[in-house]
Amino acid sequence: MLNLERLRTLDALARHGSVSGAADGLHVTTSAVSQQMAKLEREVGQQLLAKNGRGVRLTDAGQLLADHAARILSQVELAQSDIEAQRGQVVGEVRIGAFPTAARGLLPAALTSLRDDHPELRVRSRELEPEQAIREVIRGGLDLAVVLDWSNKKLPVPGGLAQAHLLDDIPDVAMPADHPLAGRAEVDLEEFADDDWVSWPEGEFCYEWLMFTLRSKGFEPRIAHMAEEHHTQLALIEAGLGVCVTPRLGRGWVPDGVRLVPVRQLMRRHIYAVWRTDADRRPSIRASVAALRRAAGREGASPPHGRTA
């Protein structure tokens, strides 16, 4: 009989394309992955991996079994969901991923609510960018992810995932207090064509959105500085080193030397939760989505954080 954990290892290899990637995804060592695959090859009596340069690739037999493994693991997930649903209790473990501002602005309230309302549920959380979080949900590394897209740039969401809208987040332009536009009630993005910009790191979804949006306004932005955390971006703004777009979700304290001005052409970030449809009936998923919606309702009802013009 095929061992489920070894099939999970094979599935991880097929998804990640390398032993090290599978090990990272499964949170085990590379030697553990190699051992599991060696045992699986003995069980099926065929070679499943072949050397490919310094790495490995799946043989035809390996790919065939990997395709079956993906379907088997999906059925196991569905069976677990049905059992949980029949029992009707919010127990076990749920793994949640969220992009940084949602991890800061939504998760503390949502996780506290889950802990208080469902003490037998163990919750684990991770901070991940939206694209990575979606990949983790698809492969089974996460049960639920909080992701985002923008009103003018959508995040591709593959089939097989369910979604629940949480809130719309409105960003502002952050600028030094002595900026010529700091006293305005509203601004247009094209008015900052001659400014230096502080941006998210290259390759992130929000960086791609920023470049797409500013170019659509008719200018090529000068990206002078890149920083992952919004607090770091605002510190650079306070030092007079540029301007940036900063969301309101999870914003917290704003330095005295920074002014926040709304954009006349309203921009929105759509924040939503995603999970696998085969896990849709799990009480733990439903309870987690409900907790996130309550946290989003409180956040959405709050006034904008920080000082505005």
pLDDT tens digits along 101-147: 999 999 999 999 999 999 989 999 999 999 889 988 887 789 999 99
Strand-pair category, 92-98 with 121-127: parallel
Q: Summarize the confidence of residues 45-49 as an average pLDDT.
A: 92
The pLDDT score that the predictor gives to residue 265 is 83
Sign, CA dihedral 225-226-232-234, equals positive
Sign, CA dihedral 221-224-228-233, equals negative
Beta carbons of 252 and 53 less than 8 angstroms apart: no
Q: Quick check: 309 pLDDT over 80?
A: no
Q: Summarize the confidence of residues 35-51 as an average pLDDT.
A: 91
Q: Summarize the confidence of residues 145-155 as an average pLDDT.
A: 92
Residue found under tokens 């740039």: 153
Please count the helices (runs of H) and the strands (runs of E) in the chain.
10, 12
Q: How is 39-65 classified by DSSP, letter by letter?
A: HHHHHHTS--EEEETTEEEE-HHHHHH
Q: What amino acid occupies position 118?
A: H
* Residue 299 pLDDT class (50, 70, 90 cuts): low
- Residue from 129, 158, 169, 167 nearest 145 by CA: 129
The pLDDT score that the predictor gives to residue 195 is 97
The Cα–Cα gap between 122 and 133 comes to: 19
Q: Quick check: 275 pLDDT over 90?
A: yes
Lowest mean pLDDT among 39-48, 65-74, 201-210, 295-304: 295-304
Tell me the two tokens of residue 10.
């094979």
Tell me the average pLDDT of the chain.
Answer: 89
The Cα–Cα gap between 21 and 194 comes to: 43
Q: Quick check: 255 pLDDT over 50?
A: yes
The percent of residues above 90 in pLDDT, for the chain, comes to 59
Q: Summarize the confidence of residues 20-35 as an average pLDDT.
A: 85
